Structure 1
Amino acid sequence: MTTATPPAPPRPKDVTEAGRASLEANRRRITRTSYALLAPTIVVMAVIVGYPIVLSVINSFQADARLDPATGFFVTGGFTGLTNYAHWLLQQCSTPAGTAACAQGNLGASFWTATFNTFFFTVITVALETVIGLWMAIIMNRNFRFRGLLRAAVLVPWAIPTAVTAKLFLFIFATAGIINALLGIEVIWGADLWASRFAIIIADTWKTTPFMALLILAGLQLIPEDTYEAARMDGATTVQQFFRITLPLLRPALVVAVLFRTLDALRMYDLPAILTGGGGGRGDATTTLSILVVREIQNTAVNSAAALSTITFLIVFGVAFLFIRVLGANLTGGEKKSKKVAGVR
């Protein structure tokens, strides 16, 4: 009678190779599934976002339809190179009409004034919203009675449509409005240069600060309470806890909140368009780049507006890129360190 010989156990090398092959096959399967799930989104984004951007860039190199002085007929535009871009970037008071407009301080289609206004509104509003939003988030993060009611009430300004907010502040900043009545002043907020700008800043800060507070609150809730208890046991004061614990651990959430809000503020249109019409003090006191684009389209200068849209897109893209490179460099520091350690091992 013969006895069956048990199979020899696999060698460690064979087990390792089989495991690697299984992991590689699993990785390829997950990759294919990921691409299949992302494909519909990529197609929709290409149609909704990619196609308009490409078409806008193509149109920016075309001349707008114009009246031919020789024939008296309108002629369609053709390839004009960088003429549309030069029209905006090299804009100056060189023509007689432009000189007269500049002398009156009413050069309504000034690219550089609109760029200044856009960045001015962005820097001031984002700074105010970050500071006030952080303060609001710290309060809402505490345990107290009716905390849920407070959180819901704080989000009300953000839930109101921007057009409604603009109309609301249009009544508040009217000559006989609430602000002048409470302060006992007679300021024409829609006609004064800096008053109109500050009206935009106040309205936008009131509108969007809850959005910043909500994002920052989400970051605060990820900080373990044990960290603060250990700091209190070591004798750390409230100020020390804020600067040594809260701010460092809150940095990823702050970076995301400030980045999102900055990109949104650089595209500001509806609030100044409704509240001041882009004017105030002078014809372009509160004109932003987005308002300037819409004005060009309304003047049937579609290809010129396409060039300005492309410039605005490049500005927003450049700000986002620099923002992530400067402020978001350490967000993946832990991952890079882990990879480095794994490579050494």
Structure 2
Amino acid sequence: MRRIARPALPLFPTLLLSPTLLVLALVVGYPAVAGFRESLYAGGEGLDADGFVAGGDRFAGARNYTAIFHGDRADAFWNAFGNTTFFTFTTVVLETAIGVAMALVMHRMFRGRAVVRASVLVPWAVPTAISGLLWRWIFQADGAANAVLGREVLWTAGGFPAKVAVVTAEVWKTSPFIGLLVLAGLQLIPAEVHEAARVDGAGPLQRFARITLPLVKPALLVAVLFRMLDVLRMFDLPAVLVGVDQDSVQTLTMVAWTEASDLRYGSAAAYATVLFGYVALIAFLFVKLLGADIIGEAHRHSRRGKGTAE
């Protein structure tokens, strides 16, 4: 039985990638390590052994983390964790559905298609703070939202209406991002593929499920992954639209910002470290569960093509 040697890692591509990897290690690795180190310390409080006011940072070990999960800050953490998770999955699901629909519309041939494609970019191009102010005006007591509904809803006063306001504003702003990436994937699909399926009797839904969706899956997964990572660290939109101190929309980044504003840097770093781990876990699971299938499918197609050529 002949052993199959594994191909060695090419040296030239590795050398080309090494500067980028070094920059990423400095830009991502150093802040993560520094933040984790800061989370192990706490500011001096009370009096020291000599009766003077304690100053400087002292080593606290895991006390900042125990305070977050089980201590006096546990309620704020779990509330922010729930809000962050709710915003992430709710907005990403809605943005994916709306973005794919927008891409399908923009891919069709019709008069004024260029104008539609340009106008779709407007919400994405508007700065998030400006978008928050715009939607705050829409959701105020005498704003356009209540005028359309015909009744007064306190959208920015907290509670579930505040969550709906944040989700609406976020979906309006970032759905075009998914739409544009999916549109780029649609433009790579040869027209002959759809034409052949149409000749074979496949309907619109069958062509979408069997042809369009599988072929745009790589672009769609990248868009969804980027959006999930972006929403997990959301801060500016709910802060501007509703407020930083509203428990109903407070996210993990907002809690970390509040702790840092109160000069509790160790606690703020602990919140940031937990958020970093949460984001890394979501990214790993997303790539492991969905991205690995793309790699395997591409490998199978490559092997199938080689077998056909032989």
Does the alignment pair 1:254 with 2:257?
no
Aligned 8 A contact 1:132 1:209 in 2:
yes
How far did 1:131 drift?
A: 0.2
Alpha-carbon distance in structure 2 between the residues aligned to 1:338 and 1:142: 29
State which structure, 1 or 2, has the greater radius of gyration over its C-alpha atoms: 1
How far did 1:294 drift?
A: 0.5
Aligned 8 A contact 2:42 2:265 in 1:
no
Aligned 8 A contact 1:63 1:80 in 2:
yes
Alpha-carbon distance in structure 1 between the residues aligned to 2:267 and 2:293: 40
Higher mean alpha-carbon deviation, 163-172 vs 142-151, is at 142-151
Alpha-carbon distance in structure 2 between the residues aligned to 1:340 and 1:288: 46
Change (3 A) 1:338 1:157: closer
Q: Match of 1:204?
A: 170
Map 1:1-345; keep pairs closer than 5 Å.
Answer: 31-32=11-12, 34-68=13-47, 71-91=51-71, 110-279=76-245, 283-337=246-300
Kindly report the root-mean-square deviation, in angstroms, between the aligned alpha carbons of the 2 structures. 2.4
Aligned 8 A contact 2:140 2:155 in 1:
yes
What's the TM-score once normalised by structure 2's chain length? 0.90
Alpha-carbon distance in structure 2 between the residues aligned to 1:338 and 1:197: 44
Where do 5+ consecutive residues of structure 2 fail to align? 1-6
Alpha-carbon distance in structure 1 between the residues aligned to 2:114 and 2:71: 53
**Aligned residue pairs, count:** 300
How far did 1:36 drift?
A: 4.3
Alpha-carbon distance in structure 2 between the residues aligned to 1:40 and 1:331: 27
Aligned 8 A contact 2:42 2:266 in 1:
yes
SS at match of 1:74: coil
Aligned 8 A contact 1:134 1:213 in 2:
yes
Aligned 8 A contact 1:66 1:77 in 2:
no
How far did 1:278 drift?
A: 3.3
SS at match of 1:78: strand
SS at match of 2:42: coil
How far did 1:54 drift?
A: 1.0
Alpha-carbon distance in structure 1 between the residues aligned to 2:210 and 2:170: 31
> Structure 1 runs of 4+ off > 3 angstroms?
34-40, 334-342
Alpha-carbon distance in structure 1 between the residues aligned to 2:188 and 2:211: 12
Deviations 1:194-232 (A, max 9, x none): 000100000000000000101111111121111111111
SS at match of 2:86: helix
Aligned 8 A contact 2:92 2:228 in 1:
yes
Deviations 1:25-49 (A, max 9, x none): xx99x724x3444344334333332
Deviations 1:12-67 (A, max 9, x none): xxxxxxxxxxxx9xx99x724x3444344334333332211111111111122323
Aligned 8 A contact 2:158 2:249 in 1:
no
Matched-pair identity in %: 45
Q: Match of 2:3?
A: none
Matched AA of 2:24? M
Alpha-carbon distance in structure 1 between the residues aligned to 2:260 and 2:167: 26
SS at match of 2:244: coil
Higher mean alpha-carbon deviation, 247-256 vs 209-218, is at 247-256
Change (3 A) 1:218 1:300: same
How far did 1:252 drift?
A: 1.3
Aligned 8 A contact 1:57 1:307 in 2:
yes
Alpha-carbon distance in structure 2 between the residues aligned to 1:295 and 1:321: 28
Change (3 A) 1:304 1:140: same
